[in-house]
Amino acid sequence: MTLYDLMIAFILVLIGLIIWQNAGFRDRALGLAKQQCEHRDVQLLDDTVSLKTLWFGKDRRGNIGLRRVYEFEFTATGERRYRGEMSLLGTRLESVELEPHQFSH
């Protein structure tokens, strides 16, 4: 086995590990989206989140980790869909943003 073969094998294993790890993070993001929607008195739609971006980021202390940004849809009145977005750095929730929406009466 050459050094080139070892590098290719390492890269493939690393990609496989990231894909496997993302499944766990998706489940965590879904749970956090449900919590945030409940806390904000809106309903998460389709019981799903989708990965929008995956890149490196720094926390307030300067530590580097993988930042995952997930998108989801929610409703406040049951009549219209709105978009939400949440950012996780590692396993920690960094931010949640909800599209401006009408509240139900």
Q: What is the pLDDT of residue 104?
A: 63
DSSP state of 78: S
Task: Please report how many Cα atoms fall inside a 13 Å half-sphere around the Cα of residue 97, on the Cβ side.
Answer: 7
- What's the pTM value of the predicted model, to 2 decimals? 0.78
pLDDT in tens, 47-105: 999 999 989 999 888 989 889 999 999 999 888 999 999 999 988 999 999 999 877 65
Residue 22: band (very low, low, confident or very high) from pLDDT cuts 50, 70, 90: confident
DSSP bridge pairs for 44: 74
Distance CA 12, CA 8 (A): 6
Q: What is the pLDDT of residue 105?
A: 56
SS3 state at 19: helix
Distance CA 105, CA 78 (A): 12
Here the tokens at position 65 are 């980790």
Q: What is the pLDDT of residue 78?
A: 85
Q: What are phi and psi of 63, to 5 degrees?
A: -75, 140
Residue 7: band (very low, low, confident or very high) from pLDDT cuts 50, 70, 90: very high
Q: What is the pLDDT of residue 79?
A: 87
Which residue is associated with the tokens 């943003």? 97
